[in-house]
């Protein structure tokens, strides 16, 4: 990847960490998930509302932590809003590949999320990038109520 593109990616990440999109409490959330990444000190609180078909109608988050964790959450909420379950799981897998697999070509469906691909060079940051995604995975699994997840094994 050339330096110019890397710089551009950096800018997008900083922009999303400073001015996160879909940031705030989701008043009528069906499920709320608290995500913790103790290795870095990142926290994400995710609220999700489902549509009649079980897809993600609305998704918002609050939290604090490193730029990678917050930008990943911000970009993720933009990407997953309005997506059905299968699309969400597909994107989760594609994103995980993007941040872990050197050989992974970024599928077009990921859109702006491609800016996170630099994380693959820093294995300790993968948990930061995946935190919001693990939270949304838990939200889908649980469907209702409250949950907590951690990137560290219990």
The site for Zn ion (CB under 5 A) is made up of: 40, 42, 66, 69, 128
C-beta of 30 vs 66, nearer to Zn ion: 66
C-beta of 42 vs 58, nearer to Zn ion: 42
- Least Å distance, CB 136 to Zn ion, is 17
Nearest to 34 by CA among 46, 42, 20, 22: 46
Q: Are 72 and 131 in contact (CB under 8 A)?
A: yes
Nearest to 80 by CA among 104, 52, 46, 103: 46
- Least Å distance, CB 123 to Zn ion, is 13
- Least Å distance, CB 125 to Zn ion, is 6
Residues pairing with 150 in the sheet: 36
Q: Report CA 121 to chain centroid distance, whole Å.
A: 18
- Rounded to whole angstroms, the Cα distance separating 57 from 14 reads 27
Question: 39: helix, coil or strand?
Answer: coil
- Least Å distance, CB 15 to Zn ion, is 17
- Least Å distance, CB 82 to Zn ion, is 27
C-beta of 66 vs 78, nearer to Zn ion: 66
Q: Are 129 and 110 in contact (CB under 8 A)?
A: no
C-beta of 36 vs 42, nearer to Zn ion: 42
C-beta of 70 vs 77, nearer to Zn ion: 70
């Amino acid at each position: 990847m050339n330096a110019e593109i890397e710089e551009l990616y950096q800018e997008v990440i900083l922009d999303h960490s400073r001015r996160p999109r879909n940031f705030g409490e989701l008043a009528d959330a069906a499920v709320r998930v608290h995500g913790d990444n103790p290795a870095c000190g990142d926290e994400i609180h995710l609220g999700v509302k489902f549509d009649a078909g079980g897809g993600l109608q609305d998704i918002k988050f609050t939290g604090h932590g490193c730029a990678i964790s917050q930008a990943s959450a911000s970009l993720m909420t933009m990407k997953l809003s309005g997506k059905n379950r299968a699309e969400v799981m597909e994107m989760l897998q594609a994103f995980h590949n993007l941040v872990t697999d050197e050989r992974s070509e970024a599928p077009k469906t990921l859109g702006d999320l491609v800016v996170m691909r630099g994380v693959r060079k820093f294995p300790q940051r993968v948990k930061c990038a995946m935190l919001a995604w693990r939270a949304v995975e838990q939200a889908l699994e649980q469907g209702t109520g409250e949950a907590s997840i951690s990137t560290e094994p219990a």
